[in-house]
Amino acid sequence: MSVSGGSGTSTFLVERYWPGVTEASLSAAISRLTEAVRAMAGRGRIVRHLLTTLVPEEESVLCLFEASTAEDVVEANRLASFPVHRIVPAVRLSGAAG
């Protein structure tokens, strides 16, 4: 399997350890991320934020992105003041229907 997201993009998983994270603080960070992604698109750097999962018991947040490079994903998160602890290429698979 490849990590390709299509059109020259790859899929990346961002892991974050975030002590004290709440749904409200995560929502605010995602709003900042949306603005950062828009700003980058205006400069021709396309990053798609696909999914975010909060794991409260682990105080962690997992985010899935599509972008040309991991550096673009890091930059979008930096602009949003959303720390990145680890970023790795990922493969997206669909769940079984029904």
Q: Is residue 73 part of a domain?
A: yes
Q: For 22-48, write each residue's pLDDT tens digit.
A: 999 999 999 999 999 999 999 999 999
| pLDDT the model gives residue 49 | 97
Q: Could you tell me if residue 97 is inside a domain?
A: no
Give the domain extent around 84.
4-89
Q: Per the domain annotation, does 95 fall within a domain?
A: no
Beta strands in the chain (DSSP E): 4-6, 9-17, 47-55, 60-67, 86-89
- Residue listed under structure tokens 């994903």: 73
Total structural domains within the chain: 1
- CATH code for the domain of 67: 3.30.70.3090
Residue 53 lies in a domain: yes
pLDDT (tens digit per residue) in 58-84: 999 999 999 999 999 999 999 999 989
Residue 71 domain-assigned?
A: yes
> Which one-letter DSSP state was computed for residue 95?
P
Q: Tell me, yes or no, whether 82 lies in a domain.
A: yes
Q: What is the pTM of this model?
A: 0.86
